[in-house]
Amino acid sequence: MSNVLIVGGGASGLAAGIFAARGGHKVTIIEHKDKIGKKILATGNGKCNYTNLVQLPECYRSNDSTFPMKVLSVFGVHETIDFFRQLGIYPKERDGYVYPNSEQAASVVQVLEMELKRLKVNISLDVHVEHIQKVNNTFKLNTNKGDFTADKVILAAGGCASPNHGSDGSGYLLAKELGHKLVKPLPALVQLKSKEKYFKTLAGVRTEVYIQLFVNDRFAAEEKGELLIANYGVSGIPIFQLSRFAAKAINESKKVTLKIDFLPSLNWKETFDLITERMKINPKRTAEESMVGLFNNKLVFVMLKEAGIEPDLFCEKVNKKYITDLVNQIKEWKIPISETNSFEQAQVSAGGVNTAEITPTTMESKLVKGLYLTGELVDVDGTCGGYNLQWAWSTGAVAGMSL
């Protein structure tokens, strides 16, 4: 049996620790924060959306799109639900999204801790791993609290999203030190920023929309859902889902534009008829007043201005050309995107250790025998909906079982 060191006490490191210890290995988890599982506590707005019953290749993104499913075929959603059920987490499912029935992310951390304790896994807190080398058959880890040695190492240090939860990007440096190459890490599941002045006025608006993302004026992706408008730009789940593509395009200095349909339940003609009808209700109402009750008032004002219509223009003066421009604005509002928000606000990192250097059925490095890489550190990111934690549990379990 091996002496195993796991760098990082996040989702993938904790899963790896349990499976390694169940296999009879002597396991120590090294964590530089004062507690394990800090990020898990923040997941799913404190409720922990720990997996999703719908598992399709498009739920995961990577330079090698076939890699994630190879890992998930070894340890996937059903194994994850069973694993947590045995530890005590009774699953609650909503539209495929799976949460603990307690609706407390803390329950997930608690059951992992209980199992690690039962298996006598050592946990070294407040220890920061600075360097790793492999000399002959032994790994040597330099930390702020002295040196550690191991037969095998699982690098589970996360990416660089949300660094206040511990993932400060140092895992990338450790992987590079051991010879691995990175696909450039970029923020994902993150808000998008725009320089348009009207965002100051629109801040706080929430509305159901259909959004298309264009890169260099070519359609790239689409989403539906609730848009949240902030003073810097746009947020909400559909924006998070599109953000990875936007981040990549911006990184390649490409033009990124969103086209938003603010009335997706009606087609263009139906919208035109609706607006025409509303303008006729009372010719002495202003254009702005005619839209009250259809859209949020802040949105109405900016929508009219952007369509070139003065909000206080009487409805009797709003001709067919104005209505056409307004409908175009409602159905095809174009927003130029300047950048994403930073890693501080991002939920995950896209990019990471190149999957071509890892065996998917074991998560062992192809470059360094006895080194395993798991979780967000690897070039795989999931969409919103429990996929990033699923990736962490799957890779952690596969590495822990394969030692």
Ligand X SMILES: Cc1cc2nc3c(=O)[nH]c(=O)nc-3n(C[C@H](O)[C@H](O)[C@H](O)COP(=O)(O)OP(=O)(O)OC[C@H]3O[C@@H](n4cnc5c(N)ncnc54)[C@H](O)[C@@H]3O)c2cc1C
The minimum distance between CB 334 and ligand X, in angstroms, equals 30
The minimum distance between CB 373 and ligand X, in angstroms, equals 10
In whole angstroms, give the CA distance from residue 27 to residue 179.
24
| Relative orientation angle of helices 105-118 and 11-22, to the nearest 10 degrees | 30
Specify the DSSP element, H or E, that contains 272.
helix 268-280
How many other CB atoms sit within 10 Å of the CB of residue 86?
10
Where on the chain is the footprint of ligand X (CB under 6 A)?
7-13, 30-33, 38-39, 42-44, 49, 128-129, 156-158, 161-162, 166-168, 170-171, 347-348, 375-377, 386-389, 392
DSSP string, 134-186: EETTEEEEEETTEEEEESEEEE----SSSGGGT--SHHHHHHHHTT--EEEEE
Q: By three-state DSSP, how is residue 359 classified?
A: strand
Residue closer to ligand X (CB basis): 157 or 211: 157
Retrieve residue 95's tokens: 């539209």
In whole angstroms, give the CA distance from residue 222 to residue 12.
30
The minimum distance between CB 57 and ligand X, in angstroms, equals 17
Residue closer to ligand X (CB basis): 26 or 128: 128
Residue closer to ligand X (CB basis): 36 or 335: 36
In whole angstroms, give the CA distance from residue 161 to residue 184.
13
Burial string for 104-128 (b: 16+ CB within 10 Å, else e) reads ebebbbbbbbebbeebebebbeebb
The minimum distance between CB 336 and ligand X, in angstroms, equals 27
The minimum distance between CB 170 and ligand X, in angstroms, equals 4
Q: What are phi and psi of 249, to 5 degrees?
A: -65, -45
Nearest to 69 by CA among 360, 352, 350: 360
The minimum distance between CB 354 and ligand X, in angstroms, equals 16
| Relative orientation angle of helices 11-22 and 387-402, to the nearest 10 degrees | 30
The minimum distance between CB 371 and ligand X, in angstroms, equals 15
Residue closer to ligand X (CB basis): 127 or 256: 127
Residue closer to ligand X (CB basis): 244 or 331: 244
**Beta strands at 152-155 and 3-7: parallel, antiparallel or unpaired:** parallel
The minimum distance between CB 56 and ligand X, in angstroms, equals 15
The minimum distance between CB 338 and ligand X, in angstroms, equals 23
**Beta strands at 51-52 and 97-100: parallel, antiparallel or unpaired:** antiparallel
In whole angstroms, give the CA distance from residue 151 to residue 23.
15
Long-range CB pairs of 368-371 (<8 Å, 24+ gap) are 368/134, 368/178, 368/179, 370/134, 370/137, 370/139, 370/151, 370/152, 370/153, 371/134, 371/139, 371/152, 371/153, 371/155, 371/178
In whole angstroms, give the CA distance from residue 392 to residue 17.
12
The minimum distance between CB 64 and ligand X, in angstroms, equals 18
The minimum distance between CB 30 and ligand X, in angstroms, equals 5
Structural contact between residues 156 and 10, judged by C-beta atoms closer than 8 angstroms: yes
Residue 199's contacts (CB-CB under 8 Å, 6 or more residues apart) are 229, 230, 231, 232, 233
Residue closer to ligand X (CB basis): 12 or 55: 12
